[in-house]
Amino acid sequence: MTSATLDFYYEFASPYSYLTAMRITPLAEAAGVLVRWKPFLLGPIFSDQGYTSSPFNVFPIKGAHMWVDMDRLVARDGLPPVTRPDPFPANGLLAARVAIFLNDASRPSFSRAVFQAEFSGGRDIGERETVRQVLASLGHFCADIMAEAEAPANKDRLRAQTQEAKARGVFGAPSFITSDGALFWGNDRLEMALEHAARLAKAA
């Protein structure tokens, strides 16, 4: 039997990516699935779809429902009440660059901490100081990491991962892709994606 893997594409401005980031680890461990955390940028993908902002802004009735839905889901999941980022969507560029620079072991905890700062702490993740404080809270050497994260080679890594997501059919966040290329979209499809990944590994 081969090991089960799941690629988790997430965007720091995405409310539903926040929910997934906060619950994916124990669910994946229970399912025996290795999760590969893949930060990317939705902006270029939305632009290709003709959007100049989040669809939750483009369609106000959809956005209003999303925040009601978020309130319900954080209560269900035992998370703190949601603080709506201002502005929304938040600028997650620096956070994404830092996340993709960090190694596989450090990326999940940093990503969760950024999401918590944004959606439960009311912090502006577009501010360098917010990202610096998140790194410091996790014991990282902030100045070195932030400098490396903004180096041209790392910027290219984030661009490449965004293009990879687009090439694999990702159109929103969170998205999950299994080893056979099957794509599952949305926080409410996480369990289904994990089950599919585990089933593939057992059949191999």
Q: Per the structure, how many domains does the chain have? A: 1
The percentage of the chain sitting over the pLDDT mark of 90, rounded to a whole number, equals 93
Question: Domain limits at 85?
Answer: 4-203
pTM (predicted TM-score): 0.96
Q: What is the CATH number of the domain that holds 182?
A: 3.40.30.10
Contacts of 14 (CB under 8 A, 6+ apart): 42, 89, 172, 173, 174
| Span 119-166, pLDDT tens digits | 999 999 999 999 999 999 999 888 899 999 999 999 999 999 999 999
| Span 10-63, pLDDT tens digits | 999 999 999 999 999 999 999 999 999 999 999 999 999 998 889 999 999 999
What is the reported pLDDT for 6?
A: 98
